[in-house]
Amino acid sequence: KAAVVVGAGDSGLQEALTLAQFAADVLMVEREAAATGQQAYRDAVAEAANIRLLTGYRVVEVLGGEVVTGVRLSEAASDTTQDVECAAVFVYTGLAPATQMLAPLLTLSPTDHVPTDIRLATALPGLFAAGAVRADFSGQAVSAAGDGATAAVTAHSYLERLDQQLSMGR
């Protein structure tokens, strides 16, 4: 299953590049008509064989019960929706968190930030938060980069465990 990165600004593009080192398939979802990050990051993402950028869409719902199983996407131009299977979701949507899509699944902070543990996992298995979207973020770019790396490593471990469980027939 894919890892989904929401947002294609600098942080989202960087996260997709980090995840691409661990995940077989990374889907980036950007509500704008094009990625908004720096050209160097856009070029690197375009060159990565396992990253796909989907523009003009937004995530309206994270699907799953006790674990993430997918996302529901809404196309801006037609307002149609489609469901995409995934094993993990990473939200990089800017400094003001756009996290209401998570409210049915998690208890958000009073400022709509996502609570995480020290490894940046949320209370919902398969959902990770990093950077400005998570509670207790320092507001520094270097911290966001560190968060992205930590979340990617945690997601990788999670996906390996999930794969082992599926192989064992659980």
pLDDT, averaged per 10 consecutive residues of the chain (170 residues), comes to: 92 93 95 92 96 95 92 90 94 79 92 94 93 84 88 93 82
The structure tokens 């209401």 sit at: 100
The structure tokens 């796909």 sit at: 52
The confidence score (pLDDT) of residue 66 equals 87
Question: What Å distances lie between residue 4 and 110, 130, 170, CA to CA?
Answer: 25, 13, 24
Q: Where are the alpha helices (DSSP H) in 5-140?
A: 10-19, 39-47
As a whole number of angstroms, the distance between CA 50 and CA 42 comes to: 14
The confidence score (pLDDT) of residue 170 equals 57
The angle that helices 10-19 and 141-167 make with each other, rounded to 10 degrees, is 40
The confidence score (pLDDT) of residue 3 equals 94
The structure tokens 């208890």 sit at: 107
DSSP single-letter state for residue 116? -
The confidence score (pLDDT) of residue 132 equals 84
